[in-house]
Amino acid sequence: MNVSDIMIRNIFTAEPDMAIGDALELMKKKHFRHMPVTDSSGTMIGIISDRDLKEASPSIFEGNHKDYMNRPISDVMVTNVITALPMDFAEDAANIMVENDLSCLPVENEEGDLVGIITETDLLKTFVKLTGAANPSSRLEVEVPNESGMLCDVSVLIKEHRMNVQSVLLYPSSEKPDCKILVFRLSTMDMRPLIETLKKQGYNVIWPRELGITL
């Protein structure tokens, strides 16, 4: 999954001479928290966030509050903006955001044109999509030995029960180093027939489980 798969392409930009007050109002109206600032040729020269603008603002009771609101955003915008490329992996973009404590990341192509933006919300939505919870589905969690072919074996049983897989996660067990955990989301409301088969074949089904059985 690349940045271009999850970025927002339809972006609002501001011009550097826009008044701070107007920018704040526009962002409020459009429910944006960030706006890239571009020059007349469309090249990005900075970025503003509603939080930065508000934090820099003198109190409304001070005389210079009105002056501040009339100043151009070029006075306060962040200029050395960290960006991503459309072909960057989504997880790399997420890493950049975490490391630099960013809540948004503009995307530029190799010519330097602004082509999109990624926000925290987009990443969160992507995560929900990847874990499959956006489609009606049930969660199956199975512990398997850390050997080749286990994902395939379990998948075959799922197929035999004609269940459609919405997502799969596979990760090492934190408790047993010789085991892996498989988490599926399956489009069915009733997993009982599959669970029965899995248990009969000796799989350790971690979820769903019955009350009274502690792990």
Q: Which amino acid does the sequence have at 176?
A: K
Nearest distance from C-beta of residue 118 to another protein, angstroms: 20
Sign of the torsion angle spanned by Cα atoms 96, 91, 7, 126: negative
**Closest separation in Å from C-beta 70 to another protein:** 28
* 37 vs 163, beta carbon nearer another protein: 163
Q: Which is nearer to another protein, 65 or 139 (CB)?
A: 139
For residue 141, give the nearest of 71, 195, 70 by alpha carbon.
195
Closest distance between another protein and the C-beta of residue 176, in Å? 20
| Integer Rg of the chain from CA | 25
Q: Identify whether the C-beta of residue 96 lies closer than 8 Å to the C-beta of residue 7.
A: no
Q: How far is the CB of 35 from another protein (least distance, A)?
A: 21
Query: How many C-beta atoms lie closer than 10 Å to residue 200's C-beta?
Result: 9
Which of helix, strand or coil describes residue 45?
strand
What token pair was written down for 183? 């988490």
We find the least distance from the C-beta atom of residue 174 to another protein, in angstroms, to be: 17
> What region, left, alpha or beta, does residue 112 occupy, with left being phi > 0 and alpha being psi -120 to 50 degrees?
left
User: Contact positions toward another protein, by CB under 8 A?
Assistant: 132-139, 161-164, 185, 187-190, 192, 207-208, 211-212, 214
